[in-house]
Amino acid sequence: MADLNEPLPPVPKIYPEGCFFDKIEDIAGKHVVVMGLGLNGGGEASVRFLLKHGAYVLVTDMKTAEQLAPTIKSISEDRDLDKSRLTYRLGEHKIEDFENADCVIKNPGVKYDGNKFLAAAKAIETDISLFLHFTKAPIIAVTGSKGKSSTVSAIYYGLREAGFEAFLGGNITVSPLTFLEKTSGTTPVVLELSSWQLADLHGRKALKPHIAIITKIIPDHQNFYHSMLAYVADKKLIYADQTKNDFTILDFDDDAACDGGTLIDNWGNIFAKETKAQVLRYSKSKLPEGVFGVWQDKNGNGICRLPEKLLSRYAQGHGKTTDTILKELVVPGKHMRLNVLNAALVLELMGVAPEQTVEILGKWHGIEHRLEFFHSYTVKYKSGNSCVFKFYNDSAATVPEAAAEATQAFGKPVVFLTGGTDKGLDLSPVADAISKNTAFKPSSIYMLEGSASDKMICDFNRANISFNGPFKNLDEMLRSLKNDILSKNCSGEKVVVFSPGSTSFGMFTNEFDRGNQFKEKVREIFI
């Protein structure tokens, strides 16, 4: 029987096909509201783009001018912008602004469902929808629940190193509007797309990626969607308008334990039946004969199998039907290898020779906030022993599965820093990973305060996993860690990894702010 108190999932907004602005020249003289200026670049990029092309821009945000000071300062200090056509409405929204505007540019973090301001708008666009309408660039689009940022960053790095004039944007905090006018039909653009960014493309038929990748699907954002099926429905938009001349790269491995209660064993199989594009799969184990894509062999090398017709058409005859396209990596973690393997497959499809791909991706150092090594701290004890503590920032791990993998990524016990704010997810994967993999059980655990931490603590207590905290802030947690380090006598090299497995919006602006503050505090305390 249904729970009448359970919140209903959001009703997807279906937008008109095409774009409100047919040509860039149509922007001139239009009155446009930018809803959500923010601090991550998307709102600012929209403002700059619209002002540059002659629009009258009204920026409205529930945050105050003080909270948005860095973005406002960046715009105000740009002498090339005509700010006479710019107005701010901060700390509030007014319905008449939306009613009177020709078009509203919506921040993807703003919900449409139940939003009276957006309901009053004559037309709604986003920075992504504008970019996709105006660019002629071939698109490589990536979505999924985890591994998106690592995958797009590795693809972008690989393309640039291979000689392509490529660009990277989307959910990775770079609006593609910042480089729109540099793109052409020969400049591949790599886009990381969140479920919310994809939802804003419903009905537009604007996203037609030549290559689409869906990374591992696990429950995420269930505090918003309240349904795994609704969440995945937005992910499906990445391949909705592909053609038979495009590629969809999908997971081959089952993961029924992370299906969110849908009884679906393999999301990749569901997607493969729906897409019109050519399907390629990725796996941690060898793919069966007749299945094309990439997998990891027993040594961790990346193997690619493509049909002859694809090799001759897309890989320019570089490789054999089966080739090694990935070997040694600098970045740690089995899950990271799979992300980079998908990047290697993209390079293969873009005509990069296998041996060149191996060399290029073997030099990739990963990305900020994803198992990012950034600081060493050496302690010399009175006993004569010395120990080097290496600090890794994994703040972009906002789901429990990512934090669970961080405990195992280094092939040895780590000092594990975790915890934050709940977003409606099952936090048990963290405790499960620690309990099941006793050889790599963290040597110590430190937790930040938060609603997700409360759930994690219950799991830890049931599994008899000891921990320190929860601590009120980073400063308190790190000073406790330092005191413990100095009071012990150890030697060799120890890894300290901060992998929250949750959000921390009450304590930080977002995961990037959290990672930056973590690095700043570590460098301040561990000197």
**Is the residue at 157 inside a domain?**
yes
152 and 270 in a single domain? The answer is yes
Cβ atoms of 337 and 349 closer than 8 Å: no
Tokens of 177: 């509007």
Q: What is the DSSP string of 293-345?
A: EEEE-TTS-EEEE--HHHHHHTSTT-S-SEEEEE---SS--HHHHHHHHHHHH
* pLDDT, position 395: 95
CA distance 127 to 29: 19
**Nearest CA to 342 among 294, 385, 301, 389?**
294
**Strand order, beta sheet including 372-380:** 372-380, 386-393, 492-498, 415-418, 444-448, 468-471
356 and 379 in a single domain? The answer is no
321 and 444 in a single domain? The answer is no
Per-residue pLDDT of the chain (527 residues; tens, 9 = 90+): 334 444 555 567 899 999 999 999 999 999 999 999 987 777 999 999 999 999 999 999 999 999 999 999 999 999 999 999 999 999 999 999 999 999 999 988 888 888 999 999 999 999 999 999 999 999 999 999 888 989 999 999 999 999 999 999 999 879 999 999 999 999 999 999 999 999 999 999 999 999 999 999 876 555 566 678 888 999 999 999 999 999 999 999 987 655 566 678 889 999 999 999 999 999 999 999 999 999 999 888 999 999 887 766 555 545 467 889 999 988 887 778 999 999 999 999 999 999 999 999 999 988 889 888 899 999 999 999 999 999 999 998 998 988 998 999 888 999 999 999 988 888 999 999 999 988 899 999 999 999 999 999 999 999 999 999 999 999 999 999 999 999 989 999 999 999 999 988 778 988 989 999 999 999 999 99
Among residues 361, 388, 416, the one where a domain terminates is 361
**Is the residue at 11 inside a domain?**
no
Residue 146: phi and psi, rounded to 5, are: -145, 150
215 and 311 in a single domain? The answer is yes
Q: What is the pTM of this model?
A: 0.79
167-207 confidence digits (pLDDT tens) = 999 998 799 999 999 999 999 999 999 999 999 999 999 99
CA distances to 37, 298, 419, 503 from 45, rounded to whole Å, are: 9, 45, 32, 25
299 and 391 in a single domain? The answer is no
Q: Cite the DSSP H helix spans in 226-281.
A: 228-235, 267-274
88-101 confidence digits (pLDDT tens) = 999 999 999 999 99
Burial grade of 300 (CB within 10 A; 0-12, 13-18, 19 or more): middle
**Is the residue at 318 inside a domain?**
yes
133 and 121 in a single domain? The answer is no
69 and 173 in a single domain? The answer is no
In which residue are the tokens 């092939």 written? 411
**Is the residue at 295 inside a domain?**
yes
Among residues 307, 327, 361, the one where a domain terminates is 361
356 and 468 in a single domain? The answer is no
Domain of 70 in residue numbering reads as 24-125
514 and 473 in a single domain? The answer is yes
**Is the residue at 9 inside a domain?**
no
**Nearest CA to 345 among 278, 443, 273?**
278
CATH of the domain at 289: 3.40.1190.10
For 105, the 3-state DSSP assignment is strand
Angle between helices 354-361 and 148-161 (to 10 degrees): 120
* pLDDT, position 219: 66
The count of structural domains within the chain is: 3
311 and 395 in a single domain? The answer is no
133 and 62 in a single domain? The answer is no
* pLDDT, position 145: 86
* pLDDT, position 390: 96
**Is the residue at 399 inside a domain?**
yes
CATH of the domain at 73: 3.40.50.720
Among residues 125, 150, 185, the one where a domain terminates is 125
* pLDDT, position 2: 38
351 and 384 in a single domain? The answer is no
Cβ atoms of 124 and 130 closer than 8 Å: no
Query: 406-425 burial string, b = 16+ CB within 10 Å, else e?
Result: bbbbbeebbbbbbbbbbbeb
**Is the residue at 292 inside a domain?**
yes
For 399, the 3-state DSSP assignment is coil
**Is the residue at 187 inside a domain?**
yes
